C-alpha cells in the first residue's frame, strides 16, 4: 500500500475519454496535480452520483492545474457503454481509467480480492508524482467533490508556501498558520 510521501508507481492502462480509447501512463500526468477517484464498478448506484459530481467540478480542478481521472476494474468498453447509456455519466469529460486486471487498484491498495472490485478511494498526487493525500472507505458511502477540491487547494497552498499549514475547514483566502510562530492557545 502506498503511503503519504511515496512516489506513485509507473503503470500503463487504457482510458476512455472524449469518445476515444487512449493508451496512457501515470507518468503522463507529471507536471500536474492528479486526483484519482477509485470506485467499485460501472452500472452501479452510488458511483454515477459521485462521478457526475466530479464532472460538475472538473473545470475548477483544471483551473488550478489539476487533472481528475476515475478508476475502476471495468474495461474501457464498459466505460463507453455506461457513458453512452447514463445521463449522469454522459456528463463526464475527464479520463475513465480501465483496470480489468486490478493492477492499478492493487498498487494503490484499493483492490478487494474476493470481489475483483475496488474500494471507494481518493488519491491526490503532486506534480512530481508524490502521494500527498488519500482517503478510502466502504463502498456504500459516497464522496463530496467540493471537499476533495478544498483538500487539493490546501495541498497546493502548503506546497507553494513553505512553512505554512492550513487549519481545519481552510479555504483559499482564509488565514493559515505558521508552526512555531502561531501560539496554539490563540486558535
By annotation, the residues acting in catalysis are: 47
Predicted model pTM: 0.94
Q: Is the residue at 54 inside a domain?
A: yes
Q: pLDDT of 66-123, one tens digit each?
A: 999 999 999 999 999 999 999 999 999 999 999 999 999 999 999 999 999 999 999 9
182 pLDDT above the threshold of 90 = no
Q: Is the residue at 112 inside a domain?
A: yes
Helices (H) and strands (E) in the chain, counts: 4, 9
Q: Containing domain of residue 65, as a range?
A: 12-143
Q: Is the residue at 56 inside a domain?
A: yes
Q: What is the total count of domains within the chain?
A: 1
Mean pLDDT of 131-157: 97
Q: Is the residue at 118 inside a domain?
A: yes
Q: Is beta strand 96-98 parallel, antiparallel or unpaired with respect to 12-17?
A: antiparallel
Query: Which CATH number belongs to the domain containing residue 50 in this structure?
Result: 3.40.30.10
Q: Is the residue at 180 inside a domain?
A: no
Amino acid at each position: 500500500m502506498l503511503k503519504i510521501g511515496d512516489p506513485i508507481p509507473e503503470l500503463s492502462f487504457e482510458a476512455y475519454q472524449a469518445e476515444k480509447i487512449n493508451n496512457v501512463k501515470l507518468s503522463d500526468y507529471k507536471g500536474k496535480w492528479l486526483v484519482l477517484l477509485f470506485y467499485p464498478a460501472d452500472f452501479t448506484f452510488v458511483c454515477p452520483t459521485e462521478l457526475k459530481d466530479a464532472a460538475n467540478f472538473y473545470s475548477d480542478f483544471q483551473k488550478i492545474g489539476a487533472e481528475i481521472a476515475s478508476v475502476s476494474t471495468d474495461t474501457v468498453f464498459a466505460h463507453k457503454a455506461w457513458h453512452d447509456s447514463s445521463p449522469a455519466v454522459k456528463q463526464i469529460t475527464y479520463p475513465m481509467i480501465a483496470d480489468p486486471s486490478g493492477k492499478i487498484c492493487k498498487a494503490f491498495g484499493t483492490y478487494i480480492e474476493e470481489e475483483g472490485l475496488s474500494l471507494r478511494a481518493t488519491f491526490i498526487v503532486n506534480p512530481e508524482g508524490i502521494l500527498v493525500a488519500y482517503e478510502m472507505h466502504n463502498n456504500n458511502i459516497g464522496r463530496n467533490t467540493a471537499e476533495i477540491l478544498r483538500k487539493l487547494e490546501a495541498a497546493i497552498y502548503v506546497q507553494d508556501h513553505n512553512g505554512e499549514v492550513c487549519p481545519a475547514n481552510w479555504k483559499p483566502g482564509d488565514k493559515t498558520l505558521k508552526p512555531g510562530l502561531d501560539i496554539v492557545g490563540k486558535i
